[in-house]
């Protein structure tokens, strides 16, 4: 639903909110408000209209209030009140210093929470301890993960698909999260991996030339390869390049395009009549790698191999659409594992941005830059004075340094000690920042060293369509 309060929402209330949001947008336009404010308001209106249709089964029509005042159980989509949680593939905003309410997001998106029972089963099936991203709820939601485990137990094949939108030459720490986890998944399950570089998307959405977008693909691919992926088991591809060389891939793009209407993509993604047609057709391109026949070199033309997609939850709208289309074109639905967002240094209200150097720790940052960014920009949950902090303790729920340590400090016992000491006031903010700096500096230095070993020739090997070390 479309604002932050909880409780049942009736169809009439929702109808009134859609009407009111429309009036708000007209007022913003009359006042010549900034374009970004209008865009956010339009996306909120579209989300409200989707919720209205989901609730009533009918499109919203002005001056036609609903006949039956049915109620929606939970109210949790983007809106104008109480926190403003707004999540789509391009924008993540919340009014809460704790970050997005992921439990509400699970309800809104209709996914399933990753419970301890699923984590235990992953450990049982793989014989390996679950990754700390799973144990700590960093990957917190899923679709059909039990199906993937069923297939694995029956020795049926599956593959992993993840991606990267190359919007800048240097990636930041947040961009590493899906790849660190994907590497672990590939290692424990020993399956093929395809990595889509959506340089076409970045050309359509940003002020980039095609040449610059492709250059970013090559640079970002080096950072991805530096995570330790095996060239014999991994295919990285540029949309700009691969679309022209794989008839299987393009045929699947067209199949998806035929089964999704303009109204549907407007409802799912918030596109407007003024968006270029490239944006409107792009979701089909992100959907296509979910189907094994898009990669004839790897899967030998097989159409029946299920796909597992680890990604941040803001990408889920693409795959809700994909899962809706899949049975209509006789393909298995992709399964998903969703991660939380990696917060900006300034706080969890937004995710890190590649366009704001001070919101992010970049993989190119020097030890000195990491030190300066953490000390100067990292939002603190500590008190104003040492005396107050010793007395009342810090708030780990809003402290960015503590949040970052949950991602990168692998020792569970040490992390728990940090939480207790900071919450009690025994650990000061400056000491917590120092611990984060000492954790990040060697991690990023090791990544930079690995990246130096990745030549253009190595990138070419990963990006050449070919058979991988699996028989299909």
User: Would you place residue 101 in the very low, low, confident or very high pLDDT band (cuts 50, 70, 90)?
Assistant: confident
Of 223, 227, 458, nearest to 363 (Cα)? 223
Distance CA 396, CA 380 (A): 9
Cβ-based neighbours of 124, under 8 Å, separated by 6 or more: none
Distance CA 459, CA 468 (A): 15
Rounded to an integer, the average pLDDT of 308-313 is 95
Backbone angles phi, psi at 208, to 5 degrees: -130, 150
User: How many angstroms from the chain centroid is the CA of residue 319?
Assistant: 11
User: Would you place residue 64 in the very low, low, confident or very high pLDDT band (cuts 50, 70, 90)?
Assistant: confident
Which position has the higher pLDDT, 421 or 350? 421
Which position has the higher pLDDT, 16 or 376? 376
Q: Residue 77: pLDDT above 50?
A: no
Please list the residues that pair with 112 across neighbouring strands.
142
Of 202, 196, 201, 198, nearest to 234 (Cα)? 196
In this predicted structure, what is the pLDDT of residue 82? 37
Of 378, 309, 374, nearest to 143 (Cα)? 309
In this predicted structure, what is the pLDDT of residue 71? 44
Of 368, 355, 344, 346, nearest to 445 (Cα)? 368
In this predicted structure, what is the pLDDT of residue 347? 80
Residue 339's H or E segment, with its range, is strand 335-339
Residue 361's H or E segment, with its range, is none
Of 11-25, 77-91, 379-393, 402-416, least confident by mean pLDDT is 77-91
Rounded to an integer, the average pLDDT of 171-187 is 95
Please check whether residue 64 is in contact with residue 316, taking contact to mean a CB–CB distance below 8 angstroms. no
* Pair of tokens at residue 307: 């796909």
List the domains of the chain with CATH numbers. Answer: 9-96 (1.10.287.10), 107-343 (3.40.50.620), 347-452 (1.10.240.10)
Please check whether residue 32 is in contact with residue 83, taking contact to mean a CB–CB distance below 8 angstroms. no
User: Would you place residue 76 in the very low, low, confident or very high pLDDT band (cuts 50, 70, 90)?
Assistant: very low
User: Rounded to two decimals, what is the model's pTM?
Assistant: 0.80
Q: Which range is most confident: 41-45, 312-316, 356-360?
A: 312-316
Residue 265's H or E segment, with its range, is helix 262-269
Percent of the chain residues past pLDDT 90, beyond the cut: 66
Distance CA 375, CA 127 (A): 41
Strand ranges inside 34-97, DSSP E: 71-72, 86-87, 92-93
Count of alpha carbons within 13 angstroms of residue 9, beta-carbon side: 23
What is the secondary structure of 28-47 as a DSSP string?
Answer: HHHTT--HHHHHHHHHHHHH
Distance CA 436, CA 360 (A): 14
Q: Each residue of 395-443: pLDDT tens digit?
A: 999 999 999 999 999 999 999 999 999 999 999 999 999 999 999 999 9
Please list the residues that pair with 196 across neighbouring strands.
163, 237
* Pair of tokens at residue 187: 């290692």
Please check whether residue 392 is in contact with residue 384, taking contact to mean a CB–CB distance below 8 angstroms. no
Q: By CB neighbour count within 10 A (0-12 exposed, 13-18 middle, 19+ buried), where does 410 fall?
A: exposed
Rounded to an integer, the average pLDDT of 76-85 is 42
In this predicted structure, what is the pLDDT of residue 351? 63
Strand ranges inside 145-252, DSSP E: 158-164, 193-197, 234-238
Q: Residue 131: pLDDT above 70?
A: yes
Q: Residue 226: pLDDT above 90?
A: yes
Please check whether residue 202 is in contact with residue 213, taking contact to mean a CB–CB distance below 8 angstroms. yes
Q: Each residue of 30-60: pLDDT tens digit?
A: 878 777 778 777 888 888 888 787 777 778 8
Backbone angles phi, psi at 143, to 5 degrees: -130, 120
In this predicted structure, what is the pLDDT of residue 17? 79
Give just the sign of the alpha carbon dihedral 156, 111, 360, 374.
negative
Distance CA 322, CA 390 (A): 52
R_g over Cα of the chain: 23
């Amino acid at each position: 639903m479309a604002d932050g309060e909880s409780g049942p929402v009736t169809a009439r209330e929702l109808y009134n909110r859609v009407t009111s949001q429309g009036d708000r947008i007209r007022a913003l336009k009359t006042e010549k408000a900034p374009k970004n404010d209008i865009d956010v308001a339009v996306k909120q209106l579209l989300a409200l209209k989707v919720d209205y249709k989901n609730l009533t089964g009918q499109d919203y029509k002005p001056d036609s209030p609903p006949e039956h005042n049915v109620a929606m159980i939970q109210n949790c989509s983007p809106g104008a009140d109480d926190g403003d949680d707004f999540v789509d593939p391009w924008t993540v905003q919340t009014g809460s210093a704790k970050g997005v309410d992921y439990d509400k997001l699970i309800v809104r998106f209709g996914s399933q929470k990753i419970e301890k029972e699923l984590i235990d089963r992953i450990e049982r099936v793989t014989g390996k301890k679950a990754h700390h991203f799973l144990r700590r709820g960093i990957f917190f939601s899923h679709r059909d993960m039990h199906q993937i485990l069923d297939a694995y137990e029956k020795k049926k094949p599956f593959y992993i698909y993840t991606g990267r939108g190359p919007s800048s030459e240097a990636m930041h720490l947040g961009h590493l999260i899906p790849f660190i986890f994907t590497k672990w998944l590939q290692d424990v399950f020993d399956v093929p991996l395809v990595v889509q570089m959506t340089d076409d998307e970045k050309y359509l959405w940003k002020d980039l030339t095609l040449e610059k977008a492709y250059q970013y693909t090559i640079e970002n691919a080096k950072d991805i390869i530096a995570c330790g992926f095996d060239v014999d088991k991994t295919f990285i591809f540029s949309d700009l390049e691969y679309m022209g060389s794989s008839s299987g891939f393009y045929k699947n793009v067209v199949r998806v395009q035929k089964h999704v209407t303009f109204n549907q993509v407007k409802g799912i993604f918030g596109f407007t009549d003024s968006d270029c047609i490239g944006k409107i057709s792009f979701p089909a391109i992100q959907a296509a790698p979910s189907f094994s026949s898009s990669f004839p070199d790897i899967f030998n033309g097989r159409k029946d191999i299920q796909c597992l997609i680890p990604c941040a939850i803001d990408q889920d709208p693409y795959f809700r659409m994909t899962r809706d289309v899949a049975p209509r074109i006789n393909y298995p639905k992709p399964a998903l594992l969703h991660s939380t967002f990696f917060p900006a240094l300034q706080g969890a209200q937004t995710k890190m941005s590649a366009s704001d150097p001070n919101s992010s720790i970049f993989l190119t940052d020097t030890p000195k830059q990491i030190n300066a960014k953490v000390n100067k920009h990292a939002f603190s949950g500590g008190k104003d004075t040492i005396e107050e902090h010793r007395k009342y303790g810090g708030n780990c729920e809003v402290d960015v340094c503590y949040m970052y340590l949950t991602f990168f400090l692998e020792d569970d016992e040490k992390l728990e000690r940090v939480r207790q000491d900071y919450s009690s006031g025994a650990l000061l903010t400056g000491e917590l920042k120092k611990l984060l700096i000492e954790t990040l500096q060697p991690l990023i230095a090791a990544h930079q060293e690995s990246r130096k070993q990745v030549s253009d020739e190595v990138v070419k090997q990963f990006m050449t369509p070919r058979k991988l070390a699996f028989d299909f």
